[in-house]
Structure formats: C-alpha cells, structure tokens
Amino acid sequence: GASPTMTSVVELFPRTRKLSYDLQQQLREVEAKRMAPSDMELGLEELKRQTQTLEMLVEQEVNRKDEWKAKIRDVCMTRDWLDSQLRHWRTQHDRAAVEEAERQELLGRVRSSLPTSVIGAYDEEGRSLSRSNNVVANLLDGAGEAMAELMDQREMLKGTQRKVLDMLTTLGVSKSTIRIIERRNVVDNAIVWGGMGFVTLCLYLLWRWVR
C-alpha cells in the first residue's frame, strides 16, 4: 500500500499513474505468454489499494479538488479495464487448458481400448506421413531454387545470344546461317521449358499422392 509519509494526492498520484502504465505493459506480456498472470495480479492488487487511498485523500484537498478527482477517475477506469482484461485472459486460457486435458483423456481412453499392434501401426503411419511431407517440402524447395537458377541462366544466355548474333553479323556471316542458329535456340528453349513443366507436374502429382 501507500507508505505512511504519503499523506496527499500530490505525493501518491504520480506513483499510482506509473504503476497503471507498467501494468498495461505487463498485460501485453501476459497475453504473449512471456509473463505469469500471477505476477501481474500482485501489481493489480497494489494499484487497487493505491486508488482507494487516493479516493480518500482527494477529499482532504482544498485546491484543484475537481481536477484531481477527474485524474483519479481516469486511473480507476484503467484499473477496472486491466482487471477485466486479465480475468478474460484467464478464462480463455483455463478453457483451452481444460479442452486440451479432455482431449488427452479421450485419446488415452481410445488408445487403451485398441490393441498394441493397431496403436503401433497408427504411430508408424503418422511418422511416415510426417517424413513424406518433409521430403516433398524439400523437393519443392529444391525445385523452386532450380527453376530460379534456370530462369537466371536463360536471361543470361539470351543476352549472350544477342551479342553473338551481332558479332556474326559484323563478321559478315550469311543471314541464312544466322536464322539456322536462331531456330536452334528456339528448339533449345522449348526443351528447357518442357523439362521444367514436366518436373513441376511430377512434383505436384507426388505432393497430391502423399497428402
């Protein structure tokens, strides 16, 4: 509570307002599960004691009584809001904990009623599915990187191709020879894109089959 030397609103109010601000920060920590709610509850109890003390002390004020009452009212509203938010979080958290406990209990009853061989088969199937998902994810990542590299190489080759054709033209190579080279490049591009499409289709079918 307030110390005995705090006999006026002027002395106590700044500390109470700071405590209110600190508790708002603590609420965020509790909601992010980085702080135990019991730690915040201690500060909230202290805030309640200090606001009650302020409500008594303000009656002794002669100057600016209405102004102080308005400030104390604001802190009290923040106090009530903090209390409400913390209780709401506890309710939600407790409900989730109860639901998880009930789920685990149900799973335990189901597992106890099944033969050991069936349980082992289900566990192995789950592990196998997890391994398959990891393999497919790795394949898809690898395919994405390979396609990105192919695209980069294609752009680089296109630039090189243009430079070579310009050079051949400068050197006086016939237009018919250059057209043959260009047709060969078109065929090469078609092969590259066809291969990429085929690999993508295979990976998609593998992913669908695993799922």
Query: Is the pTM higher than 0.75?
Result: no
More confident residue, 2 or 190: 190
State the residue range of the domain holding 158: 131-210
Query: Cα–Cα distance between 61 and 108 in angstroms, integer?
Result: 65
Residue 1 has pLDDT above 60, yes or no: no
More confident residue, 107 or 25: 25
pLDDT digits (tens, 9 = 90+) for 143-202: 656 665 666 666 676 667 677 666 666 666 566 666 776 677 677 777 777 777 787 787
Residue 66 falls inside a structural domain: yes
Residue 126 falls inside a structural domain: no
Mean model confidence pLDDT for the chain: 79
Most confident of 8-22, 92-106, 156-170: 8-22
Q: What is the CATH number of the domain that holds 91?
A: 1.20.58
Mean pLDDT throughout 106-121?
A: 68
The total of structural domains in the chain comes to: 2
Of 86, 113, 140, which residue is a domain's last? 113
Instruction: Answer whether 182's CB lies under 8 Å from 165's CB.
Output: yes
Looking at residue 64, the DSSP 8-state letter turns out to be S
User: What are the C-alpha distances in Å from 182 to residues 162, 165, 188, 195?
Assistant: 10, 9, 10, 20
Most confident of 29-38, 45-54, 130-139: 45-54
Query: Cα–Cα distance between 118 and 121 in angstroms, integer?
Result: 5
Instruction: Answer whether 61's CB lies under 8 Å from 68's CB.
Output: yes
CA angle 81, 86, 89 (to 5 degrees): 125
